[in-house]
Amino acid sequence: MHPRIVIVGAGFAGLETALSLKSLMKRAADITVIDRNDHQSFLPSIHEVISGKVRPDQIEIALPPLLDAARIAFVQDEVHEIDTSRRKVHTALAALPFDYLVIACGAAVRFYGVPGAREFAYAFRTPEQADRIGSEVRALIEDPRRPVRILIAGGGLEGIEIAGELLDLVSEAGQAEALESRALSIELIEAAARLLPGCSERVQDFVEEYLAGRGVQLLKGSAITEVRKDALLLASGETREMSMLIWTGGIQPPEWIRNLSLARHPDGWLQVTDRLHSPDDDHIYAIGDVISFTSPEHPQTLPREAHYALDQARVSALNICYDARGYRKIGYHPPTKPQAISLGKAMGVLASDTFFSNGPWVVRLKKLVEKRHMLMYRARPYLSTLTDAVPGAEFRHLLRLLMPI
Ligand SMILES: Cc1cc2nc3c(=O)[nH]c(=O)nc-3n(C[C@H](O)[C@H](O)[C@H](O)COP(=O)(O)OP(=O)(O)OC[C@H]3O[C@@H](n4cnc5c(N)ncnc54)[C@H](O)[C@@H]3O)c2cc1C
């Protein structure tokens, strides 16, 4: 019997695992992908939905036609439990048995238990939620006579990219003067002493200077202790009035992951070996944002970024294929990659520990990466139809090898 491989989540990690497995194992595996949504969202561009530069549907990839063309089963459902001993994934509607499992369900928003944050702050993990934030901001700044105070909680990557988008939105709405006169304010609140904790000082200096120079007020070393409908409280005892609060405070593992009988790090993220399976079960893999990956070469947790999720997907697919065929699995050795950060349409930063560059070209580079991703995955069903129509199994195989995915 072919191994039954179930993949939970069709984000960057899950979808790439499914497609890689299919091209490696062809019909020698029954692959099923489960996702609560019927589309994948290109999350690195989600902040541009807020400013209205992209519409949600422009960064969404429909899963049913893509997986159908690749002959991979798709179940649109919510996973809420995995019975690791009986080897079953439980969704709201069914229990799916597996021989190999790949957990690729990403991360959830973290509110740090701050009272009122979940009720009153705008958090987002989907393009639709980002779109709603954009509409709220536009509605707020429509009336120039009313003072508007937009607060952003969190000065990490998401927070600063949103600040950049809000600056673009404000200037495109013709409200740049209101920002200068302080009738409209954008404030970025970060608990740590610097923005972008974890980045090099050079990146921190540049980003702080750039945002402050464009009128964003930076409140560093200020932890939020409570959120109310129209104000928030800081650890210093200070109260900040607000028109709206956009929450980018951080991420945490989804709640149901904490109930799994699989090894986890103290902060709840799943633990994996360098082969990317659980140390407790070599048929259960976990990849992408839901894991905390460390290794002798990477003693610090690997950043949770899309390109690492894609690499992990390819390694886990290869290891499942090797294991099913009785070969030795390979280790995952992530290369250090530079981080691309956008600060609105006019400025971006590309940086690693040893490299730093900035300019509008970084924003264009990020856009190119998005376009390539969308094109490759969206074109796949049509490319499959084309190659299926070509006579001759070898020739069809050759054509598929030449395809980008
Ligand atoms: C605002 C923002 C900006 C970012 N910018 C960048 C960037 O510039 N560069 C970069 O490299 N990375 C960036 N990232 C990070 C990047 O998007 C993630 O690292 C990447 O999405 C992780 O892939 P994943 O497959 O692990 O998770 P995801 O892409 O989040 O996919 C998880 C999938 O699992 C599904 N799912 C979750 N739980 C369940 C369940 N219980 N049942 C069924 N389905 C479920 C979800 O619907 C989703 O489709 C950004 C992220 C955000 C939020």
Residue 334: helix, strand or coil by DSSP? coil
How far does residue 105's CA lie from ligand 1's centre (Å)? 8
pLDDT at 353: 83
93 neighbors 12 (Cβ within 8 angstroms): no
Beta-ladder partners of 150: 186, 244
pLDDT at 404: 45
The 10s digit of each residue's pLDDT in 225-269 is: 999 999 999 999 999 999 999 999 899 999 999 999 999 999 999
How far does residue 42's CA lie from ligand 1's centre (Å)? 8
Domains 4-36+77-107+253-327 and 117-250 share a fold: yes
Domain 117-250: top CATH class: alpha beta
359 neighbors 351 (Cβ within 8 angstroms): no
83 neighbors 90 (Cβ within 8 angstroms): yes
For the chain, the domains span 4-36+77-107+253-327, 117-250
106 neighbors 290 (Cβ within 8 angstroms): yes
Q: DSSP readout, 70-115?
A: TT-EEEE--EEEEETTTTEEEESS-EEE-SEEEE----EE--TT-T
The 10s digit of each residue's pLDDT in 283-336 is: 999 999 999 999 888 888 999 999 999 999 999 999 999 999 999 999 999 988
- pTM (2 d.p.): 0.94
> Does the C-beta of 3 come closer than 6 Å to ligand 1?
no
Whether the pLDDT of residue 155 is over 70: the answer is: yes
Percent of the chain clearing pLDDT 70 (strictly above): 95
- The residue whose two tokens read 């924003």 is 363
Q: Give the mean pLDDT of 24-30.
A: 93
- The residue whose two tokens read 């984000």 is 11
Residue 293: helix, strand or coil by DSSP? coil
The 10s digit of each residue's pLDDT in 57-78 is: 999 999 999 999 999 999 999 9
> Does the C-beta of 90 come closer than 6 Å to ligand 1?
no
> Does the C-beta of 158 come closer than 6 Å to ligand 1?
yes
How far does residue 16's CA lie from ligand 1's centre (Å)? 13
Considering the domain 4-36+77-107+253-327 in this protein, what is its CATH number?
3.50.50.60
> Does the C-beta of 78 come closer than 6 Å to ligand 1?
yes
Percent of the chain clearing pLDDT 90 (strictly above): 84
Q: Around Cβ 100, how many Cβ atoms within 10 Å?
A: 24
Q: Around Cβ 284, how many Cβ atoms within 10 Å?
A: 20
Distance, CA of 145 to chain centre? 37
Whether the pLDDT of residue 384 is over 70: the answer is: no
The 10s digit of each residue's pLDDT in 169-227 is: 999 998 888 888 878 999 999 999 999 998 999 999 999 999 999 999 999 999 999 99
Distance, CA of 74 to chain centre? 21
